[in-house]
Amino acid sequence: MNASANDTQFARARQSIPGGVNSPVRAFGSVGGTPRFMVSAQGAYVTDVEGHRYADLVNSWGPAILGHAHPAVVAAVQEAAARGLSFGASTPGETELAELVRGRVNNHGREGLGSGGPGGVGLGGGVRSDGAVGLPKETRNPVEKIRLVSTGTEATMTAIRLARGFTGRELLIKFAGHYHGHSDALLAEAGSGLATLAMPGSAGVTAATAAQTLVLPYNDLDAVRLAFEEHGHNVAAIIVEAAAANMGVVAPARGFNRALSQIAHEFGALLIIDEVLTGFRVGPAGWWGLESSLVVPDGGGWEPDLITYGKVIGGGLPLAALGGRADVMDFLAPLGPVYQAGTLSGNPVAVAAGIATLRAADRSVYDRLDATADTIASEVSAALSTEGVEHVVQRAGNLFSFAFTAEPPRTYDQVRAQQAFRYPPFFHAMLDAGVSLPPSVFEAWFVSAAHNGESLGQIVAALPAAAKAAAA
């Protein structure tokens, strides 16, 4: 075993690639040390160039819900690749995936998934008084039409262009700490890598572009109402992570998303729910499915106009999507005046991976994800408590993270006020013990259905030393 292979790889990468990485958080900037260069991934594990195997709680930042290299997904990819890598023309698979997504979301993910209700972990109570789950009858399918693109960034970028084209308005409202990819309009006070690097925005975004995005504190409806009172006539859309998970996990306050939908619609603006991270991960129909099932429909359901997807929908290959109201979606070219296109959009190999992943992700997969998240979250919390480390567990369905603070943060400011310095030693103690965590306190932990007794045992065994390191 070559003990310095990761260092060698990193040094070599830095000669040719800025910072040695193709996405900033991979550089280990906020935790220090040498990033691991991975060569293979199977089930619950990833293996680096030195041959070290890590129980993986990054899972490619979300896509790998079934675990790495799931046989059904690999077989579908191989079969599709053998038929051709890209045609630059429509394929039957694209329609099949579109129908699959529409069906799952319309049925709250219950279609073909058995009789179990939504997991709803971390959402609290509030099941309808008649005990039913599902939307009030009059509520339309939130994904009437869907367009496939290649990345989550493209999906949200296109969604805001579409909202502007449809409404004829310019302003966009987003929330501090929410990350929607790296298009210019969406980089202001964004989470994920910008939070990790403590960057308020990005150089290269013009002042004029930045001025068209109003950034509000999350979970603060008064701020939203005030912004609409001042600018409502010119707001094209609100964009919101369905449940925030790029500043660590911060679930929306109960009723927050529904109130956003009501306020936006009162002022003729659209609501874009970003499910790139949560979609098909926290439940069969994403966060929207979980939350819509649980909200007491005293005033009807809540209706996003557009929803963006990524990560899980591509099963580990570059695929993302935006979907929503048919009248809004039909504003896209070739029917409408809003342009969007892509050489590799709806790539047949990526589509095959997406279909295979969604087909394999049945109710039992989501039950496993919930149970695994429960186990890991409570074991980490217990280990930290044993060492007297002040922390809270932040949950949104099967997504979770830990904030080193006394009170659960609900805004980006509160997230940033935590004792973030406790995370790097915790992270490295886990890594040394063969557990790969997100290399930033401002990221969610991702479980997969492949975690089993062996990998969970390895994670739990690593915790006492890591908690001690965090306490120091």
Residues that are catalytic: 179, 274, 311
Residue found under tokens 């991976």: 353
Using CB under 6 A as the binding rule, whether residue 192 contacts ligand PLP is answered as: yes
Using CB under 6 A as the binding rule, whether residue 152 contacts ligand PLP is answered as: yes
218, 193 Cβ separation under 8 angstroms:
no
Residue found under tokens 């896209």: 332
Considering only 6, 30, 91, 156, the residue that binds ligand PLP (CB under 6 A) is 156
- Residue 219 CB: number of other CB atoms within 10 A? 19
- Residue 252 CB: number of other CB atoms within 10 A? 23
Using CB under 6 A as the binding rule, whether residue 443 contacts ligand PLP is answered as: no
Task: Output the six-digit token pair for 414.
Answer: 């509160």
Using CB under 6 A as the binding rule, whether residue 189 contacts ligand PLP is answered as: no
The helix (run of H) or strand (run of E) holding residue 201 is: none
**Sole window of 27-35, 83-91, 274-282, 286-294 interacting with ligand PLP (rule: CB under 6 A):** 274-282
Cα end-to-end distance, the chain, whole Å: 31
Considering only 224, 276, 349, 449, the residue that binds ligand PLP (CB under 6 A) is 276
- Which CB atom, from 165 or from 177, has the smaller least distance to ligand PLP? 177
Considering only 158, 246, 345, 398, the residue that binds ligand PLP (CB under 6 A) is 246
Binding mask 90-129 for ligand PLP (x = CB under 6 A): ----------------------------------------
Least distance in angstroms from the C-beta of 149 to ligand PLP: 9
Residue 259, Ramachandran bin (φ over 0: left; ψ between -120 and 50: alpha; else beta): alpha
Using CB under 6 A as the binding rule, whether residue 181 contacts ligand PLP is answered as: yes
Task: Output the six-digit token pair for 25.
Answer: 């958080």
214 — phi, psi (to 5°)?
-90, 125
Using CB under 6 A as the binding rule, whether residue 310 contacts ligand PLP is answered as: yes
The helix (run of H) or strand (run of E) holding residue 343 is: none
365, 451 Cβ separation under 8 angstroms:
no
Residue nearest to ligand PLP (CB): 152
Using CB under 6 A as the binding rule, whether residue 442 contacts ligand PLP is answered as: no
Using CB under 6 A as the binding rule, whether residue 350 contacts ligand PLP is answered as: no
Considering only 48, 56, 274, 305, the residue that binds ligand PLP (CB under 6 A) is 274
323, 306 Cβ separation under 8 angstroms:
yes
Using the 8-state DSSP alphabet, how is residue 56 labeled? E
Considering only 108, 180, 410, 451, the residue that binds ligand PLP (CB under 6 A) is 180
* Side chain identity, residue 62: G
| Alpha-helix residue ranges (DSSP H) falling in 49-182 | 71-83, 92-106, 152-167
Least distance in angstroms from the C-beta of 151 to ligand PLP: 4
Contacts with ligand PLP by CB under 6 A lie at 61, 151-153, 156, 179-181, 192, 241, 246, 274, 276-277, 310, 320
